[in-house]
Amino acid sequence: MVLDAKKIAVGVTGGIAAYKTCEIIRDVKKLGAEVRVSMTESAKNFVTELTFTSLSENPVICSLFDGHETRGISHIDLARWCDLFLVCPATANIIGKVAAGLADDFLSTTIMATESPVVFCPAMNSSMWTNPLVQENVLKLKRQGYRFVEPDWGTLATTAEGEGWGRLASVKRILHNIKYTLLGTSELENKRVLVTAGPTRESMDPVRFISNHSSGKMGFALAEAAKLRSAAVTLIAGPNHLDVPDGVKYQRITSVEDLKDAIYEEYDQTHILIMAAAVSDYRPKTRLSHKLKKSSHEHRLDLERTTDILAELGKKKEGRIHVGFALETENGVAEATKKLHAKNLDMVVLNNPLEPGAAFDADTNIVTIISTDREPENLPKLTKDAVAGVILDRICERVKHNYQKAAAV
């Protein structure tokens, strides 16, 4: 999992948004991270200690003097233990305290003592957030290297407060920031990556279509992995139920022709194309404008070929990197290698949906990466996030190699 072996300390301060911290802890735990929570006294008014103990599967630390020091979890231990310190929600009080260099409880003392990155997620009433004193404190902390996931505009804690700046950033944005802080690199800075994902649908009449079982999970994971390497990412996807990764430009399509138009719109500015969409090879020759009624006869559906987008783009790819996917149930490596050459690709990611753990809707995948510059690489069963990470690593190696080659000329 992408956050395997990562240690995250979470400091919870007193704000109604503390309930959203529960979701964040659950999500990072699902991604493999280990979590330890520290709460201020006022945080206990919003969510109980027991909730965080259960979610983090570790005792919650509240005070410098509640016995944890003698049980080996001192503020110094926690400060050294964590790879990242998340303060969520962060009140104006904790921001002000740290900015002033004060350390008068377990949380502020640990923040002061840690050398790991500290990420504040402020949440407060909009007049507090826009107060120049708070803004000055935020600036001061940013200048010292503290990170912030800025609050959103939206409905504040009570309906009486209405809308304003100060609402805790979305869980999705906070998770992206956690991942970026722990795993992010600048390897693809200034690179534009275009990822396609999910199935296409080809209509035969207003109510029926031909499609496939692709869930889009692999493509969405690739878009996020590219974003974590600082690329500008566009994701074009067929029908799916997934959450678009934070900071990714998203376009939804239905048919192969829609997909083709959307790709061509972006292609000139694209440096890296990752074609993970399960594109239909055929579509009904005619699309009826009315619903096809049943009859007592057999019905024959005539199909025609769709455009092979990747093969077509392979003819004009110039210096771009093209990555394709191959779904094979027999002679995988040989068939995928044929596609590598036929479609002028740099890399083909081969998978077999009949293997256990590599099914369409699964969260895991078992792939072989076949490239023009190395032996086929068999990866073990990994989560789709982890597979995406390895694919992006190989892409980054190629980007570096191409750059060195160009510099040597």
**Residue 289 CB, nearest approach to ligand CTP (Å):** 25
Give backbone dihedrals phi and psi of 148, rounded to 5 degrees, phi first.
Answer: -130, 135
Catalytic-role residue among 58, 93, 131, 212: 212
**Please, which residues have CB within 8 angstroms of residue 373's CB and are 6 or more apart in sequence?**
346, 398, 401
Name which of 82 and 309 has its Cβ closer to ligand CTP. Answer: 309
Name which of 250 and 403 has its Cβ closer to ligand CTP. Answer: 250
Q: Residue 381 gets which letter from DSSP?
A: S
Name which of 137 and 306 has its Cβ closer to ligand CTP. Answer: 306
Task: Please provide the DSSP assignment of 163-195 as one string.
Answer: EEEEEPPPHHHHHHHHHHHHH---TTTT-EEEE
- Tell me the C-alpha to C-alpha distance, in Å, between residue 302 and each of 122, 205, 244, 307, 309: 59, 13, 36, 17, 21
- Tell me the C-alpha to C-alpha distance, in Å, between residue 208 and each of 112, 124, 187, 203: 61, 49, 44, 6
**Residue 381 CB, nearest approach to ligand CTP (Å):** 21
Give backbone dihedrals phi and psi of 139, rounded to 5 degrees, phi first.
Answer: -60, -45
Name which of 22 and 242 has its Cβ closer to ligand CTP. Answer: 242
Beta bridge partners of 250: 235
Name which of 156 and 327 has its Cβ closer to ligand CTP. Answer: 327
- By the 8 A CB rule, do 202 and 255 touch? yes
- By the 8 A CB rule, do 368 and 328 touch? no
**Residue 196 CB, nearest approach to ligand CTP (Å):** 6
- By the 8 A CB rule, do 90 and 42 touch? no
The span from the CA of 369 to the CA of 374, in Å, is 9
What is the Cα 387 distance to its own chain's centre? 13
Name which of 89 and 238 has its Cβ closer to ligand CTP. Answer: 238
Residues forming contacts to ligand CTP in the complex (CB under 6 A) are 256, 275, 277, 279, 281, 306-310, 324-327, 339
Tokens of 255: 């048919």
**Residue 199 CB, nearest approach to ligand CTP (Å):** 11
Note if 365 is an active site residue: no
**Residue 233 CB, nearest approach to ligand CTP (Å):** 17
Beta bridge partners of 203: 209
In a 3-state reduction of DSSP, which class is residue 80?
A: helix
Secondary structure tally for the chain: helices H, strands E:
13, 21
Q: Residue 72 gets which letter from DSSP?
A: T
**Residue 325 CB, nearest approach to ligand CTP (Å):** 4
**Residue 316 CB, nearest approach to ligand CTP (Å):** 14
In a 3-state reduction of DSSP, which class is residue 101?
A: coil
The span from the CA of 278 to the CA of 255, in Å, is 11
Name which of 69 and 257 has its Cβ closer to ligand CTP. Answer: 257
Q: Which residues are catalytic?
A: 212
